[in-house]
Amino acid sequence: MAKIIHLPARRPSKLGFKRARKNKNDDFETQLDLFNAAKQEAQIIPIMGMVPSFENALKLDYLGDSRARNAYLKAIENGDCAADCYCNLGIIESQMGNTAKAIDCFTNALKLEPRHLESHYNLANLYFDECDLKLAKLHYEIALEIDPDFANIYFNLGLLHALNDNLNEAVRLLKHFKKIAPPDIAENADEILTTLQNSTK
């Protein structure tokens, strides 16, 4: 007889989208959070008359400025970080509820860079939201091959395995997530991990 698993009353949600950045090791996201905190209007100040199109678009995007979409399209026209631009456009389209356009953006990024981490991860998130767990799993696993240290993948893949009743694998993935994620993010796994561990006893 099948075992019934009582998941937490509040269904745990996956960890969200990840924007692509030109310099993957910079602290750009944190720096732009300071602008958000101050609720400043987006201003791009040209240095020596030039602002890279992608950087302009990314700053606008982090500030929630509606001009970000057109700025990404302009950067694509200029050949400036086109895969990153398509990826971030995919997030914008997804947030606007345009699922088909979002998938098109992520796949355009992957045409340009087949190992584009953020596009595989974000595409997996989109498929997860659409309940296509098979395609979500595929893209999470590809993203994991590209960057085995990206903690969010382990969390989302753990949830996916829990939904597919593969509890031991879900527990393994969530434990690994807790081990490598920053403490404030790692706590996201506590409730679901406790529930799953009690179910596998």
Are the CB atoms for 157 and 142 separated by under 8 Å?
Answer: no
Count Cβ atoms within 10 A of the Cβ of residue 131 and give its class: 0-12 exposed, 13-18 middle, 19 or more buried: exposed
Q: Which two tokens stand for residue 19?
A: 């924007």
- Check whether 166 has a pLDDT greater than 50: yes
Task: For residue range 133-145, list pLDDT tens digits in order.
Answer: 999 999 999 999 9
- Check whether 95 has a pLDDT greater than 90: yes
Angle at 105 between CA 101 and CA 107, to 5 degrees: 115
Task: For residue range 35-85, list pLDDT tens digits in order.
Answer: 444 444 445 444 444 566 999 999 999 999 999 999 999 999 999 999 999
Are the CB atoms for 143 and 153 separated by under 8 Å?
Answer: yes
Q: Which two tokens stand for residue 102?
A: 């979002």
One-letter amino acid for residue 158 of the chain: G
Count Cβ atoms within 10 A of the Cβ of residue 62 and give its class: 0-12 exposed, 13-18 middle, 19 or more buried: buried
Which helix (DSSP H) or strand (DSSP E) does residue 8 occupy? none
Are the CB atoms for 60 and 67 separated by under 8 Å?
Answer: yes
- Check whether 103 has a pLDDT greater than 60: yes
DSSP 37-92: HTTPPP----BTTB--HHHHHHHHHHTT-TTHHHHHHHHHHTTSSHHHHHHHHHHH
pLDDT of residue 188: 86
Which residue, 58, 69, 75, 70, is CA-closest to 95? 69
Percent over 90 (pLDDT), the chain: 65
Angle at 150 between CA 9 and CA 15, to 5 degrees: 25
